[in-house]
Structure 1
Amino acid sequence: MFYQPGITDHGLPHDPFKACVVPRPIGWISTMNKKGQANLAPYSQFNNLSFDPPLVMFSSNQTSQENRKDTVVNAEQTGKFVWNLATWDLREAVNISAEQVPYGVDEFERAGLAKEPGTLTGIPMVRDSPIKFECEYLSTLRIPGNAPMGSVDVVIGRVVGIHIKDEVLVNGLIEVSLTKPIARCGYFQYTVVEKTFDMIIPGMSEDVLYGLEGNSRKNREADARRKDLDV
């Protein structure tokens, strides 16, 4: 089949676009407003952008009333947000926190989640999530789209603090089978990651490999060597 989005009809009972881009990491983002009220919401359009410095982004459509999401408003006003890893064990809480409720309602309380304060930002984090990123807000890219929900805010933040529970580290690596992250698929479907496999590009130089790994220490060592050569 072939169709042109917004021009020709795909002829299917449900739109296939989101089901083509899978699996998508979940940006379970916690924020706080100026009154100190906590907010927690999942975004299925989330990813990292770079590793040195570590940057992340989440993309937020408008509500059906053409309002910007609370998460975006809070991040812009306070300059801070936290990403919490969404896991199989926490899946029901993730789903509850997705409900659209009035501004200022605490989704941690609605979902029965314990909080812990961020070390650097003070933003509440999901205590039982095994991995958390404390982030400083950098910018918002506002992209217009079709009403009422099509317009989107792409929020970019710099990761300034990373929390990893010791029990998910095995031989110095994060063991995915212990964290069991969930990811968004198409329609109302999700998946859970319980196993991984390695593929290393044959014949690649060390600088390419550490870039793929996202090793900031080696990246800075390489930069220092280049500067020494330029002197």
Structure 2
Amino acid sequence: MMYTKEDIVKLDRVTKLKIINSVTGIKPANLIGTINNKGQTNLAIFSSVVHLGSDPALLGFIARPRTAEVGHTYRNILENGTYTINHIHPEFVKNAHYTSAKFDVDISEFERCKLTEEYITNFKAPFVKESSFKIGMRFVEAIDIKHNGTTLIIGEIEHLILPDNAMIDGDIDLETTNAVGISGLNSYYSLKKIENHPYARLNKMPEFE
């Protein structure tokens, strides 16, 4: 099977969304938690969180074009400069999935989807209590992507909370943390570690057959 650009353009909206959201393979499934200056919380599922650099520790994610119905995450981040990224685990995949519905701003996805707000001292944004792997972020900058109206949100890690047994020989073992991956709009995957290799150096290259 092969799709040309013309074939893709002709697809109906939902089919196109599902296919193009799947072509990069399995992506991390995360819940991003925010709060506005009125104290209204928001929780939304994202599959676009990416590593941008380690020193400083930067992560990015893509925010969709803002409308009256969507964009609460971005608006809240701009208001107070903090947000959280929370890994999703099998026990609450269904709850996490339905945070993608277009709730009104005065309805908290935490409450509606039965997930629990959790706070730490001197950090405004809510974490997801049910998640064992969570990251507290400070907003750094936003880069508009003019071609489709989306925005790359960049933040720096201020807090990293993960299980003690997740660190194995200096690496984070995502199988141990029971992290969940996502493909397309609604397909979720468990992660299984296949292999582990040393840092690649030219003077220690193996011979390939």
- TM-score normalised by L of structure 2: 0.82
Alpha-carbon separation, structure 2, partners of 1:83 and 1:202:
29
1:152-171 equivalence runs, <5 A: 152-166=150-164, 168-169=166-167
Kindly provide the amino acid, as one letter, of the partner of residue 4 in structure 2. Y
Paired position in structure 1 for 2:29 = 26
Q: How many residues align?
A: 198
Paired position in structure 1 for 2:102 = 100
Residue 40 of structure 1, CA deviation: 0.6
Unpaired segments of 5 or more residues in structure 2? 205-209
Residue 100 of structure 1, CA deviation: 1.2
Paired position in structure 2 for 1:73 = 75
Residue 79 of structure 1, CA deviation: 0.7
Cα 1:160–1:170 shift into 2, 3 Å: same
More strand by share: 2
Cα 1:114–1:120 shift into 2, 3 Å: same
Paired position in structure 2 for 1:84 = 86
Paired position in structure 2 for 1:116 = 118
Kindly provide the amino acid, as one letter, of the partner of residue 40 in structure 2. Q
Residue 160 of structure 1, CA deviation: 1.0
Kindly provide the amino acid, as one letter, of the partner of residue 160 in structure 1. E
RMSD: 2.5
User: Counterpart of 1:102 in 2: which secondary structure?
Assistant: coil
Alpha-carbon separation, structure 1, partners of 2:159 and 2:46:
20
User: Counterpart of 1:90 in 2: which secondary structure?
Assistant: helix
User: Counterpart of 1:91 in 2: which secondary structure?
Assistant: helix
Residues 136-193 of structure 1: per-residue CA shift (max 9 Å, x gap): 1011112234xxxx42121110101111133544566533233221122135322111
Residue 56 of structure 1, CA deviation: 0.7
Cα 1:66–1:29 shift into 2, 3 Å: same
* Alpha carbons 1:176, 1:196 under 8 Å: kept: no
- Which protein has the larger Cα radius of gyration, Structure 1 or Structure 2? 1
Return 182-191 or 72-81, whichever deviates more: 182-191
Kindly provide the amino acid, as one letter, of the partner of residue 103 in structure 1. V
Paired position in structure 2 for 1:227 = none
1:1-231 equivalence runs, <5 A: 1-4=2-5, 8-10=6-8, 14-15=15-16, 16-62=19-65, 69-145=71-147, 150-166=148-164, 168-169=166-167, 173-200=171-198, 202-204=200-202
* Alpha carbons 1:120, 1:134 under 8 Å: kept: no
Kindly provide the amino acid, as one letter, of the partner of residue 26 in structure 2. P
Alpha-carbon separation, structure 2, partners of 1:87 and 1:47:
18
* Alpha carbons 1:96, 1:110 under 8 Å: kept: no
Kindly provide the amino acid, as one letter, of the partner of residue 72 in structure 1. Y
Alpha-carbon separation, structure 1, partners of 2:137 and 2:164:
21
Residues 74-127 of structure 1: per-residue CA shift (max 9 Å, x gap): 001111111111122221121122211001321111121222103442311111
Alpha-carbon separation, structure 1, partners of 2:169 and 2:196:
16
